[in-house]
Each structure stands twice: as structure tokens, then as C-alpha cells.
Amino acid sequence: MQVQIAVIDFGSQYTQLIVRRVRELGYFAKLFQPSELPSVGQPVAVILSGGPRSVTEIDAPDIDYAFLETLNVPVLGICYGMQLLNLKHGGEVAPSHSREYGPAQLEPTESTGLFAKLSDSSQIWMSHSDTVSNLPENTKVLGKNQEGIPVALSWRKGWYGIQFHPEVTHSHEGTQVLRNFLEMTNDPPRFEIQSFRDETIAALKAEIGDREVICGVSGGVDSTVLAVLLNRAGSNVRPIFVDNGLLRKGESDQVVESFKQLGLEIERVDARDRFLQALAGEDEPERKRHIIGNLFLDVFWDAAKDVQLLAQGTLYPDVIESATSGSIASRIKTHHNRVDRILELQKEGRVLEPLAELFKDEVRALGKSLDIPDEMLFRHPFPGPGLAVRVPGEITKDRLKIVREADAVFIGNLRKHGWYDKVWQAYAALLPVRTVGVKGDERSYEHAIALRAVVSEDAMTADWVELPHALLRESSNTILNTVAGVNRVFYDISTKPPASIELE
């Protein structure tokens, strides 16, 4: 698709959110590095992101300002972007007396243009240590904070700068600010998932022809949408499902059955014993992940044999964060020939990544347009290493069984009480301790289980969910009475950060 909005990345932690928000408003946006500005094509608007550096530094990130002017389109600078534009127009930027990070109030000085349909005062989110100290001639102040300091400027028609971050939810009317800016383009929104679906299917048909396409599937959202998309393109698709023995209760059969209902036969590879043997005696978290990742590739390639085309469920955040476009090769940190094979296929142009321009929520929307059931599209995230990250210490059949049974009870109760779709991710984990309890007339010395339920937008941060006490009580009682080897249940109320979402 032709880029409508070019977002120039100066390194802000929120940059991906800008792209997401713009797409949510119906415009196709993509991220570019400052050096890539001359290659953005002909966008209808440009947004300059925030960033951690100071524009006053000698080697601070810069843009080709002369080229930006030749585009003759609206420009919005956010935080660092605003300060950079102020410098380019002849103004000055100086260090603030103190870093401003957190909520502030926006008080617009006009109710049209960029700030149309906004309240007289609304919360905004700041994150900066520099400030504009001198405004160029003819600069118009569009808004101030509660202390009367300018936080929104316009240097000329269509060129704007705002000190706050409209892309984060903490800026309560930030989406409206972005909408107002985009409406200045006189270009209607063109990012519709149905159009993307049709264009992608047509492109896949042309590229694949009669060649066989191999793809790995797990039952997760990305690989499911990928396989169905390939199938709709009429390709000779061969989905391979590796059962590593680290899945949830009944999950292996459930994945096979779910794909059957979608008209896809998947090839299940039973590698449960191989993974357990490889993990025997290993208790170091990173080492376990390394073993699982490498063995998965071994098993996958053993099953795949001669590959004509390989399809991967790479998403846009992977492309942004990885020099190798988010492929398996970029995620498994090893120089083994397991990865070399993927890299060789990439060099030969035999790797397909049809989801590489989408965010996770857009993949779900694409899945809905492909008539994939909601229970497959909206199932909770599940980590690549599976239950290995929920069983600290050595992985054994007995310990996996305890976690599976406890998890099934907890997830079952979330569904029963209508809470499954209200939380982002939930699970039961085995704590690396044994505790004293009483069962019957005897003392017991058994395992402890931790239940966890969190809400999150992007997994970067997460907050625990205040589940009803009755639901937690029922889950605890059922686990204690039906799961052998458990005599204590905890509820994890840690946020991320400082804790992680998973246990390991």
C-alpha cells in the first residue's frame, strides 16, 4: 500500500504508538529513519517523533529540512520533533530547569485547526528535558500548560509542533489532536483491512504460483491468520505444528481440531520426548529458552525437508525492531546452521512475510475478515517456550502436569464467570518452593501455585487485574482439592515493571 503518513523515528519509546494511532484513524502510516526521509515517496503528511536525545547536542539526529519543505505537506513535530522544527525555523532550544515527565494540563489558545473540538483544559503527557527558549518571528502559540508555558506552536501554515505526546492514552484528547492534523491533508482515510486482505491474497497468488509453501503453526493468532491467508490465496500450503510437550492441557488436540474446522489439515510432529530429554536437569532460565528455540528449529527442519517457500508470521513491530525483519533468525541468538538455512532462503527471495506491515490488533482484524472464529483470534498470548517459563527450575512430566491441571482450573473459571475476555493474559505457574500444609490428618510438604491475570496494551507494561474474590476462592479451592501435589495457592499482584508478565 502507498504510504499516506510518514512517521520519522527519532528514538522515542512511543514511536510505534504514533503509527498505530494513525492507522486506527484510517490512514496508512509507516515508520522511517531520519536518513530515509528522501525515500518516503509522496506522503500526504509527515510526523516527526519524540526522542531521548537533545537537539542541542553536536551529533543530534537531524533531517533533510530542505527536502521536507519540497514535499509541501502538513508537518507535525512531537516533543523532540517540535524542538527540531523550532531550531530549523530560526528559534532556540535550551535545557529545562528540571525534567518534565508525567501529566500536565493543555490549555488551547484557539479552538480551531489542530485543537478543534478540544476541551478548554485537558490532561496531556510530557516527557522532555529541553524546552523551546526563543520563538522565531511570526511563530503562533496554539496552546500553553497550566503554568502558561507554550506547549504547542505553529511556524507557518500546516507546520505544527507540540511538546506533549498525543499518541499515549495519558493524553486524554490526544487522538482528537491527531485526527485534526490528519484531516488537514484533504486526503480521505485509505487503510481498510478488507482492501489489505484482497491486495495481499492477489499478491500471494502471483508470487507463489504452484510452489509449495511451508509455515509453522502454533494455534496462536499470527500463525493461524498466516496459514488461513495462504490457504485463501489458493496456495499449496503445508502447515507444520510442533508439539513440544510444553503446551497447556488438551492444547495439541485443540489446535489440530481448530484448523480442521477452518478447512486446513495440519501436520503434527510429536516431539514431546525429545524436548523433555533435552531439558532434563537444566534449571537456568536462559539456557532452557536456548535449548527449546534451537530444538524447535531442528524438529521443524527435519519435518520440512525440501523447502520451496517458507512463510513466517512476522509483524510490523518485528520489522521495526529487527535488522532481519523479525524472522526466526533474529529471535534465536545463535550462529548454528539451523539459522543459516533461513538466512539462505531470505537471500534467495524464498521467504514470505505477508503480515509484515501489520500490528497485532490489525492481524486480528484481518483474521475476522477471513472468518476465523473469535476464540482463535482472541485467545490469550502464550509464550514461545510454553510452560517452561511457568515452571521455574527443572522441567519434568510431573511438574508440567501440576501446572497444566491448575491452569485449566483457573482459565475454566475465568470463562465461567465471564472474565476471560476482560483480561489480556492469565495463567497458573508453579512456584519454585514447597510449603507445609495439612491434608486429611497429616502434614503435607507440597508445591505452591501462583495465579496471574494482567491487562496490557503492548506487553511493555502490565497491571494486575482485581478479580472477584469469589472467583479466586473457587479457583483456589478447586486446585487444592483436585490437583495432586499442591497445598497452597497465591494470587500475583505484581505490575510490570518491576516484575515480568511471565515467571521466567
Sequence-distant (6+) residues with CB within 8 A of 44 are 4, 5, 73, 74, 185, 187
- 413-441 in b/e form (b: 16+ CB < 10 A) is bbeeeebbeebbbbbbbbbeeeeeeeeee
Cα angle: 271, vertex 275, 280; to 5 degrees: 150
∠ CA 202-204-208, rounded to 5°: 130
Cis, bond preceding 74 (omega within 30 deg of 0):
no
Contact 314, 322 (CB under 8 A): no
Cα separation, 106 vs 155, in Å, equals 19
Is 447 tagged catalytic? no
Residue linked to cell 523550532? 86
Q: Is 336 a catalytic residue?
A: no
Nearest to 400 by CA among 190, 249, 204: 249
Active site residue 165: yes
**Catalytically annotated residue among 100, 167, 362, 504:** 167
Residue of 79, 89, 362, 405 marked active site: 79
Helix count and strand count (H, E) for the chain:
16, 18
Distance, first Cα to last Cα, the chain: 39
Catalytic residue among 165, 173, 353, 447: 165
CA-based torsion, 343, 345, 346, 348: positive or negative: positive
Residues labelled as active-site residues: 79, 165, 167
